C-alpha cells in the first residue's frame, strides 16, 4: 500500500483554502478542472480545510450532545457493522431513514447480557440517518452550505437529493473496522448516481482508523453491478443479493487518507473504501451524507433499505435545475468524470 494521502490538493478552491464556514459559503466556490479530473481518475477527492475549525467544532459538539442525551435503555441491542452476519435489519434500523437513531458498536456490548462495556458516549458506532433535516448543526453543513450544492452541480446533478446522513463515532479503543465496500451496494438509483461526502471532525491517522481508498477501483470490471444490501421482496427485513459473498475486493494500491479535521472527501458510488479499527486513545468522529439524483430519468430503487414513508420525494433537494443539461458530459469530458449516471 502506498504512502498516505495527506491531500489531493485543491488550490483553486478559494473557499476551501480559506476554510470558509458553512454560513459564509461563497457562491464563487466550484471544483476546479483538476479536481474533476482527479475525481474521475481516482473515484475520490480530498478537499482540505473545507470546514473552518468553528464549523468542525459545531458539528462535533452537536454529536457530543446527542451522545450525552440518548438513553441506552431505549435502543435495541443491535450492532451495526459492515459484517453481514451482524447487520441488523429490525424495525428500528428500517425506520431510521427519517429519524435520529443510535447504533451500538459490537465491541461495546456484552453479547450475552446486553450490558454496555464502555461509557455510553463511546458505545455508539453511528447516529443516523436523518441528521441533515432534524438536527440544526448537521442541517447547516448539509443543506445550508452553498458549496455542497456547487459540488453537486459541477458533478452533473440536476436535482440532488440528500437521502441520508450519518455521524460515525469510532470511539477510542472501541471503534470497529468498516470492511471494504462500495456505497452503491447500500443505496442505489437507476442509473446509479450516489455520491458520498465525508467530513472527519478530528485529525485522521492510521492509528485512529482513518479512511482508506483504492484509487481507480470505481472503474474496475463489474463496478456497475455490486452485490447489494436491499429490502427483501417478502417484507421480512433486508438481505444481500446475491446472498453469497463473491471474491474479496482487490485492495492493492489502497491509500490511507491521513487528513485533517474539516477536510471533505468525495466518494464515488463504486469506489472501494474501508477503515480499520480505532486502536488509539484519540477519537475519530466523522459526518457523512449521501446525495442521489432526483431529476426525471433517474429512479430511486424501491428495494433500497432506506425508504421514507412518503417516498423519495421526501428527500430534501439542494436545488432543482429541472431539465438543465448535465455538465458532466460537457465540462468533464464524458460519463466517467461525474457521478450522475456514470458509475
Ligand X SMILES: O=C(O)CCC(=O)C(=O)O
Indicate the residue among 153 and 218 with the shorter CB distance to ligand X. Answer: 218
Q: Which residues pair with 304 in a beta bridge?
A: 230
Minimum CB distance to ligand X, residue 124 (Å): 13
By the rule CB under 6 A, 13 interacts with ligand X: no
Task: Read off the C-alpha cell for 76.
Answer: 435495541
Minimum CB distance to ligand X, residue 294 (Å): 21
Minimum CB distance to ligand X, residue 332 (Å): 24
Tell which residue, 288, 23, 319, has the closest CA to residue 161.
Answer: 319
Indicate the residue among 15 and 261 with the shorter CB distance to ligand X. Answer: 261
By the rule CB under 6 A, 275 interacts with ligand X: yes
- Among residues 143, 178, 254, 289, the one that binds ligand X under rule CB under 6 A: 178
Cα 203 from Cα 210, distance rounded (Å): 9
Name the residue with cell 451482524: 86
End-to-end Cα separation, the chain, in angstroms: 24
Minimum CB distance to ligand X, residue 199 (Å): 10
Indicate the residue among 96 and 275 with the shorter CB distance to ligand X. Answer: 275
- Among residues 67, 151, 168, 269, the one that binds ligand X under rule CB under 6 A: 168
Q: Which residues pair with 147 in a beta bridge?
A: none
By the rule CB under 6 A, 258 interacts with ligand X: no
Minimum CB distance to ligand X, residue 144 (Å): 22
Residue nearest to ligand X (CB): 275
Minimum CB distance to ligand X, residue 172 (Å): 14
Minimum CB distance to ligand X, residue 288 (Å): 5
Task: Read off the C-alpha cell for 89.
Answer: 435489519
292, containing H or E segment: strand 286-293
Q: ∠ CA 22-23-27 to the nearest 5 degrees?
A: 80
Minimum CB distance to ligand X, residue 183 (Å): 5
- Kindly identify the residues of this chain, within the stretch 187-216, that bind ligand X according to CB under 6 A: 211
Cα 307 from Cα 289, distance rounded (Å): 15
The dihedral sign for the CA sequence 237, 240, 243, 244: negative
Half-sphere exposure of 35 (CA within 13 A, CB side): 22
# of chain residues touching ligand X (CB under 6 A): 9
By the rule CB under 6 A, 273 interacts with ligand X: yes
Cα 14 from Cα 30, distance rounded (Å): 9
- Among residues 42, 98, 135, 183, the one that binds ligand X under rule CB under 6 A: 183
Tell which residue, 158, 163, 111, has the closest CA to residue 133.
Answer: 163
By the rule CB under 6 A, 139 interacts with ligand X: no
- Among residues 164, 288, 298, 304, the one that binds ligand X under rule CB under 6 A: 288
- Among residues 108, 124, 272, 286, the one that binds ligand X under rule CB under 6 A: 286
Cα 248 from Cα 338, distance rounded (Å): 26
Minimum CB distance to ligand X, residue 296 (Å): 28
Task: Read off the C-alpha cell for 299.
Answer: 429512479
268, containing H or E segment: strand 264-268
Residue 170 near residue 285 (C-beta atoms within 8 A): yes
By the rule CB under 6 A, 276 interacts with ligand X: no
Indicate the residue among 38 and 167 with the shorter CB distance to ligand X. Answer: 167
By the rule CB under 6 A, 268 interacts with ligand X: no
Indicate the residue among 70 and 229 with the shorter CB distance to ligand X. Answer: 229
**DSSP secondary structure letters along 62-102:** HHHHHHHH--GGGS-S-B--S-TTT---SHHHHGGGGSEEE
Contact residues toward ligand X (CB under 6 A) are 168, 170, 178, 183, 211, 273, 275, 286, 288
Amino acid at each position: 500500500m502506498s504512502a498516505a494521502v495527506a491531500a489531493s490538493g485543491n488550490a483553486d478552491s478559494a473557499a476551501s483554502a480559506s476554510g470558509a464556514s458553512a454560513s459564509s459559503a461563497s457562491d464563487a466556490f466550484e471544483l476546479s478542472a483538476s479536481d474533476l479530473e482527479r475525481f474521475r481518475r481516482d473515484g475520490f477527492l480530498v478537499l482540505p480545510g473545507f470546514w473552518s475549525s468553528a464549523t468542525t467544532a459545531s458539528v462535533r459538539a452537536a454529536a457530543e450532545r446527542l451522545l450525552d442525551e440518548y438513553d441506552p435503555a431505549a435502543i435495541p441491542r443491535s450492532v451495526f457493522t459492515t459484517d453481514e452476519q451482524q447487520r441488523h435489519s429490525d424495525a428500528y434500523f428500517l425506520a431510521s431513514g427519517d429519524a435520529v437513531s443510535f447504533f451500538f458498536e459490537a465491541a461495546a456490548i456484552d453479547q450475552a447480557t446486553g450490558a454496555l462495556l464502555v461509557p455510553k458516549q463511546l458505545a455508539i458506532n453511528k447516529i443516523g440517518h436523518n441528521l441533515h433535516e432534524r438536527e440544526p448543526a448537521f442541517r447547516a453543513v448539509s443543506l445550508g452550505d452553498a458549496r455542497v450544492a456547487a459540488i453537486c452541480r459541477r458533478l452533473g446533478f440536476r436535482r440532488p437529493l440528500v437521502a441520508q446522513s450519518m455521524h460515525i463515532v469510532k470511539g477510542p479503543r472501541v471503534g470497529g473496522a468498516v470492511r471494504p465496500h462500495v456505497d452503491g451496494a447500500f443505496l442505489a438509483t437507476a442509473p446509479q448516481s450516489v455520491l458520498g461526502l465525508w467530513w472527519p471532525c478530528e485529525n485522521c491517522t492510521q492509528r485512529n482508523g482513518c479512511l482508506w481508498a483504492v484509487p481507480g477501483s470505481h472503474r474496475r470490471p463489474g463496478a456497475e453491478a455490486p452485490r447489494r444490501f436491499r429490502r427483501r421482496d417478502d417484507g421480512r427485513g433486508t438481505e444481500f443479493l446475491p446472498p453469497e459473498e463473491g471474491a474479496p475486493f482487490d485492495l492493492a494500491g489502497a491509500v490511507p487518507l491521513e487528513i485533517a479535521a474539516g477536510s471533505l472527501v468525495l466518494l464515488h458510488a463504486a469506489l472501494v473504501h474501508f477503515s480499520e479499527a480505532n486502536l488509539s486513545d484519540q477519537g475519530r468522529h466523522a459526518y457523512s451524507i449521501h446525495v442521489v439524483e432526483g431529476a426525471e430519468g433517474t429512479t430511486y430503487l424501491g428495494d433500497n433499505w432506506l425508504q421514507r414513508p412518503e417516498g423519495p420525494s421526501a428527500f430534501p433537494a439542494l436545488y432543482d435545475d429541472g431539465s438543465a443539461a448535465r455538465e458532466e458530459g460537457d465540462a468533464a469530458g464524458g460519463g466517467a468524470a461525474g457521478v450522475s449516471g456514470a458509475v
